[in-house]
Chains A and B, each alone.
Chain A
Amino acid sequence: KNEVEQSPQNLTAQEGEFITINCSYSVGISALHWLQQHPGGGIVSLFMLSSGKKKHGRLIATINIQEKHSSLHITASHPRDSAVYICAAQENYGGSQGNLIFGKGTKLSVKP
């Protein structure tokens, strides 16, 4: 079983729709990261969460530490949001403290 699970793997939406991507993890973490990777490959850090909720523009990230679950929401989606969204758990124990364990990613395609 993967330590970080994302769903769905693929998501197609119409422009304007509200989008939710989910992430569950089984390891002890010091933080949970959401990353965005566009075609062409660059990885951009969107959010780093240790509790509660963060908002940046149309993007909202939430985390429930007790349930070991995080969600990324996109409001009023736009074709430029099309990318792979990756959830990553930052370990908080032992020699690997600080290392990221990645989910497989969710490929989002927003149609005009």
Chain B
Amino acid sequence: DAGVIQSPRHEVTEMGQEVTLRCKPISGHNSLFWYRQTMMRGLELLIYFNNNVPIDDSGMPEDRFSAKMPNASFSTLKIQPSEPRDSAVYFCASSFRGRLYGYTFGSGTRLTVV
């Protein structure tokens, strides 16, 4: 298994542009999490899917952020329009809910908005 796959690894974009981050969870995992990491706030949950359904999106900063999970093997996090304060590392993680299995994190996407 290749693990949780995120793309792109790095993204530099201009303020106001749309940014789409992608995640492929581990096959068989039914929970998917998007986290954001900044120096100031550490790791924070943005949104959490279970069986492709968004369960908790209370961490999504504002309407500029949206996330989808059209099927069990793919999720996107979109920022439109992007702002410099969105610069962070965005991690995707997956797990199998209902059992005490560990989480597997993707390598993260480092986003820089200039």
Residues of A at the B interface (CB closer than 8 Å) are 30-31, 33, 35, 41-45, 48, 50, 86, 88, 95-105
A86-B43 contact in complex given A30-B100, A95-B56, A99-B33, C-beta closer than 8 Å? yes
Task: Find A95's partner among B31, B55, B101, B105 (CB 8 Å cutoff).
Answer: B55
Q: Which residues of B contact A103 (CB under 8 A)?
A: 42
**Closest residue on chain A to residue B97 by CB atoms:** A98
A102-B105 contact in complex given A30-B100, A96-B48, A96-B55, C-beta closer than 8 Å? no
The answer to whether A43 and B108 have CB atoms under 8 Å apart is yes
Task: Find B103's partner among A42, A45, A105 (CB 8 Å cutoff).
Answer: A45
CB-defined A-B contacts under 8 Å, sample of 7: A30-B100, A41-B110, A43-B93, A99-B45, A101-B45, A102-B44, A104-B42
Q: Which residues of A contact B45 (CB under 8 A)?
A: 99-101
**Closest residue on chain A to residue B95 by CB atoms:** A98
The answer to whether B56 and A102 have CB atoms under 8 Å apart is no
| B89, CB-defined interface residue at 8 Å | yes
A41-B102 contact in complex given A98-B50, A99-B56, C-beta closer than 8 Å? no
Known pairs A104-B42, A105-B42 / 20 extra A-B pairs, C-beta < 8 Å: A31-B100, A33-B102, A35-B105, A41-B110, A42-B105, A43-B91, A43-B105, A44-B105, A45-B104, A48-B103, A88-B43, A95-B56, A98-B50, A98-B97, A99-B33, A99-B56, A100-B33, A100-B45, A102-B43, A103-B42
**Closest residue on chain B to residue A50 by CB atoms:** B100
Inter-chain CA distance A87–B95, complex, in Å, is 17
A-B Cβ contacts below 8 A, count: 57
**How close is B90's CB to chain A, nearest CB, in angstroms?**
11
Inter-chain CA distance A35–B37, complex, in Å, is 14
Inter-chain CA distance A50–B103, complex, in Å, is 14
Q: Which residues of B contact A97 (CB under 8 A)?
A: 97
